[in-house]
Amino acid sequence: MEIKIVSDVRNTECDVIVAGLYEGEQTAHEIANTYAIEKDGFKGKFGQTYLLQTYGAIPAAKILVIGLGKRDEFNENKMREISAKAVKKCQQIKAKTLAYDFETSFDYGWSATIGAMIGNYAFDKYKSEKADRVDKIIMSNVSEDSIKSGKAFGDAMTFARDLANEPAEFATPEKLAEYAKSFDGIETEVSDYEKIKNMGMGAFLAVAQGSPKPPKFIHMKHYCENPKKKIAIIGKGICFDSGGLDIKPPSSMLTMKDDMSGAACVLAVMRALKEFNPQVEVHGIIAACENMPSGTSYKPGDILTAKNGKTIEVDNTDAEGRLTLADALCFASELGVDEVIDIATLTGACMVALGTVAAGIMGNDDDMIARLIETGDKNGETMWKLPMFPEYKDSLKSDIADMKNTGSRNGGASIAGVFLKEFVKDVKWAHIDIAGVAYLDKPQKELIKGATGAGVRTLLNYILQA
């Protein structure tokens, strides 16, 4: 999508002028005020729309009046939602070029651009008939920089959503590694079976062993001189989660191509860094594999040794994500970074607890968690802190190994967090469970059904403000 900045949006050629209307106020367009507000009593409540033909009164054929709600409550989150909504409305009437006529107290270029790109998204690669899209948006009173940054965020989200929407036969461990190696300015090391084995990643390899698709351990690096901070981000990269020998029922397996949404987020963030070149050292880590049932699968009762030497009795092969993350967390703990963040579609229990409205977050540093939550709030990604009471560890007790990989179903999201903690050493750490928010089965706010690009906005912003 092209974004163009002009000084006067009111007299430009376009298909639709999108005119913002604060509740109880007037628009900048006489014709809209006369027809929408005076004649039809349109109020401008947040998200309400009113479409008006102009019949030659102005160069644009139509005006879409869109309610912004109360002026003093309007902010960047609302701008993003409004922009997505406007784009979706205009797709329906097959408009291609829009002009945004908004009067805001902030530079709305960034949020309007991300919103427009989120709203314009469709995964139609495999459809003969393509979705209707808006091609161009004209804006005024916005800076070039805000548009550039908005585009980079929008691109990153599109990349992550595409990758998680792709079938597992496309988004394989090998494909994720190929992408990781293709990013400008990112140094990437991909380890294959032998190297992974030599690194001592017995938990990761056990999960991978049931699939003919070879595992890939992916380590991406963004280096810079005198970094202000060093951060490692880890994404769960289960390219397909069948459950393994503890196989999932069909309805639960249906969307399990998305079990690499954390990896898609990490790839998208690393890919976007070139646009910003932050003075932060960033490591992107993915232990990519499939969890499949076969004659070579790992089995309930197996005892695995993770990279830090701790032993794990396999209680359920469907709790595979925490096994792959265990080795990735050990690896990240040895990098000498200040902070480690993992992002994972980890537990159905997190989805039961928080629904599709919020991701769960936990970790070992309250301040870091608070900063992540705040960053998410400002960017339309809600996260909710879940507890890590030491008692949760009791249910992971094993008679024959250091721990089991699953415990009680109750408190499942926290139990998974407590399990992961065993593999974090001497570093600040936060764990984000995106099981509920990574993939929607119906539209929600500016997002359509399918992959959401969860975590991209939060992690990229978090890194940029480090």
Supply the residues annotated as catalytic: 248, 322
Q: What is the edge-to-edge ordering of all strands in the sheet holding 403-404?
A: 303-305, 311-313, 403-404
**Contact residue for ligand BES among 120, 140, 379, 406 (CB under 6 A):** 406
Count of Cβ atoms closer than 10 Å to residue 126 Cβ: 9
The entry of Zn ion, ligand BES, Mn ion, none near residue 290 (CB within 5 to 8 angstroms by kind) is none
Closest contact distance (angstroms) between CB of 212 and ligand BES is: 20
Strands 450-451 and 439-440, bridge-based pairing: antiparallel
- The alpha carbon of 109 is separated from its chain's Cα centroid by a whole number of angstroms, namely 21
In 3D, which of 376, 362, 242 has the Cα closest to residue 298? 242
- Give the nearer residue to ligand BES in terms of CB position, either 66 or 349: 349
Cα–Cα distance, 327 to 270 (Å, whole number): 21
- The alpha carbon of 379 is separated from its chain's Cα centroid by a whole number of angstroms, namely 11
Compute φ and ψ for 152, nearest 5 degrees. -65, -40
Scanning residues 125 to 164, which ones bind ligand BES (CB under 6 A)?
Answer: none
Query: Interface with ligand BES includes 316 (CB under 6 A)?
Result: yes
In 3D, which of 104, 164, 194 has the Cα closest to residue 140? 104
**Contact residue for Zn ion among 76, 259, 281, 327 (CB under 5 A):** 259
CB 353 within 8 A of CB 414: no
Tokens 């792709």 correspond to what residue? 166
Choices 10-18, 19-27, 136-144, 316-324; region in contact with ligand BES by CB under 6 A: 316-324
Query: Interface with Zn ion includes 235 (CB under 5 A)?
Result: no
- Give the nearer residue to Mn ion in terms of CB position, either 156 or 359: 359
Query: Interface with ligand BES includes 339 (CB under 6 A)?
Result: no
- H or E element in which residue 128 lies: none
Largest CA distance in the chain: 81
Please give the residue whose beta carbon sits closest to ligand BES in the complex. Answer: 348
- Give the nearer residue to Zn ion in terms of CB position, either 253 or 464: 253
Binding site for Mn ion (CB under 5 A): 241, 318, 320
Choices 18-26, 195-203, 319-327, 362-370; region in contact with Zn ion by CB under 5 A: 319-327
The entry of ligand BES, Zn ion, Mn ion, none near residue 316 (CB within 5 to 8 angstroms by kind) is ligand BES
Closest contact distance (angstroms) between CB of 209 and ligand BES is: 16
**Contact residue for ligand BES among 101, 241, 381, 446 (CB under 6 A):** 241
- Give the nearer residue to ligand BES in terms of CB position, either 20 or 244: 244
Looking at residue 191, its amino acid is S
Query: Interface with ligand BES includes 348 (CB under 6 A)?
Result: yes
- Give the nearer residue to ligand BES in terms of CB position, either 44 or 244: 244
Q: Fill in the DSSP letter of residue 380.
A: T
Closest contact distance (angstroms) between CB of 398 and ligand BES is: 15
* Number of chain positions touching Zn ion (CB under 5 A): 4
Please give the residue whose beta carbon sits closest to Mn ion in the complex. Answer: 318
Cα–Cα distance, 341 to 369 (Å, whole number): 10
**Contact residue for Zn ion among 162, 166, 241, 281 (CB under 5 A):** 241
- H or E element in which residue 221 lies: strand 216-222
In 3D, which of 84, 72, 62 has the Cα closest to residue 24? 72
- Give the nearer residue to Mn ion in terms of CB position, either 147 or 438: 438
**Contact residue for Zn ion among 115, 321, 380, 412 (CB under 5 A):** 321
CB 47 within 8 A of CB 1: no
Cα–Cα distance, 102 to 322 (Å, whole number): 46
Scanning residues 257 to 276, which ones bind ligand BES (CB under 6 A)?
Answer: 259
Contacts of 127 (CB under 8 A, 6+ apart): none
Give the E-state strand segments of 27-130 in sequence order. 49-53, 62-69, 97-101
Cα–Cα distance, 174 to 239 (Å, whole number): 10
Compute φ and ψ for 298, nearest 5 degrees. -70, 155
Query: Interface with Zn ion includes 109 (CB under 5 A)?
Result: no
* Number of chain positions touching ligand BES (CB under 6 A): 16
Closest contact distance (angstroms) between CB of 462 and ligand BES is: 23
Query: Interface with ligand BES includes 313 (CB under 6 A)?
Result: no
Query: Interface with Zn ion includes 258 (CB under 5 A)?
Result: no
| Interface ranges with ligand BES (CB under 6 A) | 241, 259, 316, 318-321, 345-349, 351, 406, 412, 435
| Interface ranges with Zn ion (CB under 5 A) | 238, 241, 259, 321
